[in-house]
Structure 1
Amino acid sequence: MAVPKVNEMLLQDLEEMGFPRPRATRALYYSGNKSLEDAIIWTIDHENDPDIDVMPLVDVDIDIDSSQSFPITEEIRIKAHKLREQERTKKEEELKRLEREREKERIQAGKRVLEVKRIAEENERQRNLALRKAEKEEEKRARGKVLQKLEQDKINRRSKHGSILPMENVANVRLEATTLEQQDKILQKPKPVYTTEKVDYLRECLRSLKRKHQAEQGRVRKAFETLLIYVRNVVKNPNNEKYRKIRLSNPLFQERVASMNGGVEFLELCGFERIGDLLYLPHEKTDITLLNSAGAVLNSAMTNPFFGLLST
């Protein structure tokens, strides 16, 4: 396969008129290499061919006399100009079409960005609302617990001194965090003060730990999980001494609990005592009720996303 030989003079004339060499060669070859007019007419008829600007290849070369030049008439020039104008117009229309499509895409992209921004702002607003709601609820619970503790102290003092205040005075005390039924239970069967206080201390200990290590949420959760394992083991096996012993030098204990401010203190609030290199919980001091409360506090610390956000 080779590029066909065409009249060089005609080829040069076509190139001077603005036609690319592949198109001019193709036009001369397929129009018979006779004249510029025939070549231009062929180009006009085949301007939409997909291979119009591809150099043609043929099996056999055609020997064309290239010594003769043909005159370029005004009609040929007009046709050539018209062809170039059509080509230019076609390219301009294609550029305009591409620009419209790009502008449409820019508008769509802008709308998508605005929608993503709107969704992000709405999500942030919802998170702030949830956070404020959780703060108010925790404040309400805290106030209720303070009022409950004050009322419990009054009941304990009355019980200690053998005096009973008139019921109408008791009824005037508002326990905001409890229902009426719960208030009746508190008045009829008071809980030991020491248990309530220790549970509050346990909760505050975990809050303090979480606040001090707020940039290390992974380590905080691992510490809570490890403390929960120690507490559950004692609750399930209170008579097994090995679950009531924790070696302070244990590398795992050091990494997960001892290195966290408040980790060892939490176990001491549960009843563990420091004896040399051990944290030891004596059998006679094992308070299952307190340990169950400690487990509940740990569960709350791990499942409540707002735990520890408020300072008390």
Structure 2
Amino acid sequence: MSTEMEMAKARAVEAGEGTDKKDVELVEPEVDGQALAELEAMGFARNRGVRALHGSGNTGVESAVAWLADHEDDADLDSPLLLPKETPKPSLTPEEAKALAAELLAKARRKRELEEKELQRLREQERIRSGKELAAAARLEAELKLKRSMEARRLEKEEERKARERVREMLEEDKRARRVRLGLPPEPTPEELEAERAKAAEKAAQEAAKRLPPPPVIPDADRLRDLLVGMKRGTSDAAAVTLCFQTLLRLCGNAANDPGNAKYRRLNLGNPALAARLLPDARAFLEAAGWAAAEGEGEGVLVLPGAGSPAEVVRLTAAGVQLHSALNNPFFGAL
């Protein structure tokens, strides 16, 4: 028995197709009939042709002849080639078919999910890449637009400068022509230039004076200081002096910080609570700081008549500076 037959039977036994030789049906394998006829025409026996075509995989006459050359010493070369007949596999039961279908569907579903995840990942990468490219393109376009705008503005300014220069040259030319018509030298003399500069400076000063507010009236700081020194020296009660100065500082500070508030602009020195905190000469200091007697309201009523003007605020601030010095400088009034 040939080696192919023994191997075929062994495979059949392993596959469970039977353990008894009588149970195995042996048949000649199917080969290319035309190639077999050509081999027989060339003088090879049928059994050799069948073995050669089967052994070479039915790939043609040349392969079969080469196979015969390699196996010419085989003892069973002229024996018939019989192989176990392939039996169809038994059909699946409905349960097995259903389970197999479910398994195949699950595999297909998992494969599709993996493919979708991979496709989604690739799409996300493409989206990120496209977003970066769009952002870079937008940034580049913005930079180019800014550069173009700056260049256009530069050219516009340059054109304006040239236009002003042309106008200036035309005016100078017209001025020279008028001087010639008047019998004067084409160019102005140094004296004329100096006069023009002086006239221009005077005009500029006048324009500046129109734009600036009038300078505030600065109060006499020495008088304010002298009044405070007099109050300090006029009494031996240091606590009363400190209380008076603190009260005056609060009155001046409130009026300076909130000049539009009417309650800070009117003082009633006849008020017992206020009178108890002030020394007799405090009225003179308040009047020096800007307060004045109110007409028709009694002798003890003082008001600020300046309506919150800058000069009034400056005067109150100067009074506050002197009061602050009197309260914090231990040598105030010592000299």
Scaled to the shorter chain, the TM-score interval is 0.3 to 0.5
**Structure with bigger gyration radius:** 2
Where relative contact order (Cα < 8 A, 6+ residues apart) is larger, the structure is: 1
TM-score, normalized by length of structure 2?
A: 0.33
